[in-house]
Chains A and B, each alone.
Chain A
Amino acid sequence: MGRLSVELCGIPLDNPVIPASGTFGYGYEFAELYDINILGSFSFKGTTREPRFGNPTPRIAECPAGMLNAVGLQNPGVDRVIDTELPRLARVFHKPVMANVSGFSLEEYADTCARLDPQPQIGWLEVNVSCPNVHGGGMSFGTDPAAAASVVRAVKAVTSKPVIIKLTPNVTDIVSVAKACEEAGADGVSLINTLLGLRMDLKARKPLLANITGGLSGPAVFPVALRMVWQVAHAVKIPVVGMGGVSSAEDVLEMLMAGAAAVEVGAANLIDPWACRRIIEDLPGAMDRYGIKNLKELRIES
């Protein structure tokens, strides 16, 4: 066990760095750039039961220290993921991968998770109840504690893998949603998904994104994410995966200090394709500078 190693739901990770869903595809674009086995794990592109094209373009808008996206869960559908993406991934990634799943009904969440459950490459199911860019699903489950708990129960009934629920920050009280997930049997929670935002196109006098609104990510959201990770980590006993604007080794240390068991890196991958490798390489030096011997000692109690 190296000094960077951590554990997530009983599965050891060489380091806490996990590229976040939607910024790393199914892995192999990045595998062409560097050996992705240096990662703790990664969370693959949000997958639904049916293939989805997603929203019309423009889907991306720049913001100060961040970006809006309204991709809308473009993915090839769970069957293609199992038939094509996972075998391709197996050639370049030899660690448990995190399967990110979205849905529009309890039945769909359960169905998709049931199909992914027998796949030996998958370590965790990260169930997204927080996508802000689709209608009639996604975030509507994550903004209500009872609805989120019903997703947890539906998914837990069909899988023996650890279930991590990905939470939205677009709520008044994220702690109550996290607690409801814990009580319903979730093995962990990950947060935060993007913050709902809007940009205008002044020349065209209309919203810049075709979807009108989109999710804000990038360094701009880091303090908000850190605060929510702190609140949730001190309110639940299950592990918390922290994410939101993480761009450096120091950001990773802050997240771990706030109570995260592992850390996802999202938008940074889109600006610097080698961001996760850089963060992992920078971690030992950053730990030395702050006198941190190993990452497990970092969490502070309030």
Chain B
Amino acid sequence: MKDSIFTILTQRPLTNQVYELKLSGDCAAITRPGQFVNLRLEGLYLRRPISVCDLEGNTLTLIYKVLGKGTEQLSRMRPGETIPVLTGLGNGYDTALSGDRPLLMGGGVGVPPLYLLAKRLRGEGKPVAVILGFNTASEIFYEERFRDLGCDVSVTTADGSRGVRGFVTDALPEAYSHVYTCGPEPMLKAVFKCIHTGGSFSFERRMGCGFGACMGCSCRTVTGYKRICKEGPVLQKEEILWEG
């Protein structure tokens, strides 16, 4: 974990509510795809955790959806402005688990952390299948970016306005060796139920600190209590306990 000041390079809307933010700063603490960073915004007491979408040298790409006060404030920030950022948080995805035909399934703003993962898996020479799920055609982002990496990309929309009508699970192929997924919890649960291989599931929780000190984001697992921010956000299929 590192605390350093990042400078905004670019910020652009990808859809009506989703923004892509590129920042420049010390990224040395980021070691795996699927990790997150924690942004300190002026006037807000708690930091805002956002997953790492891409990493290129010391350029960090984050994609977030405007959902509340923090993300709304972030969306109004301009190139040149600075943000204190804690980097290198969480366990991230392990590409060693992929097998020879990894499948990536992302829903909505669960898609971004899969981008760096896809990039790393492609870098290891593996064929990567990606299923991107959105509510409707106007909410789709990064489809071409995944294609540019050489991934086999399928898109699903809940309203059928683009690609396969339904959810990511409706586009599940027959053959795959390991599933990497991130998205809303009902989607994760559906993926959990229908896959026949191991899987790496990335979870989201309201956090206090983001680095394991406050126990604000704890969950029960088969192997004991885990902190989503520290032992997560990625949990393996066989350790997940669904609550409620």
Contact = CB atoms under 8 A, between A and B. Distances in A.
Whether chain B is bound by chain A comes out as yes
B210 to A, nearest CB: 8
B214 A60 contact: yes
Contacts of B207: 60
A25 B212 CA distance: 8
Contacts of B47: 271
Nearest to B206: A58
Contact of A24 (B208, B213, B218, B225): B213
B126 interface: no
Interface string B180-215: 000000000000000000000000011111011111
A67 B218 contact: no
For the residues of B in contact with A, the DSSP-based class is loop
A53 B220 contact: yes
B8 to A, nearest CB: 21
Contact of A64 (B45, B209, B230): B45
Contacts of A271: 40, 45-47, 209
B184 to A, nearest CB: 14
A273 B4 CA distance: 12
A274 B3 contact: yes
Interface of B: 1, 3, 40, 44-47, 86, 205-209, 211-220, 225, 230, 243
A29 B219 CA distance: 19
B41 to A, nearest CB: 11
Given A67-B208, A270-B208, A270-B209, A74 B215 contact: yes
Q: Which 9 A-B pairs have the closest CB atoms?
A: A270-B209, A60-B216, A58-B206, A60-B208, A74-B215, A62-B46, A59-B216, A71-B215, A29-B212
A181 to B, nearest CB: 27
B211 A54 contact: no
Contact of A63 (B45, B205, B225): B45
B219 A69 contact: no
A267 B46 CA distance: 10
Contacts of A62: 44-46
Most buried by A among B40, B46, B217: B46
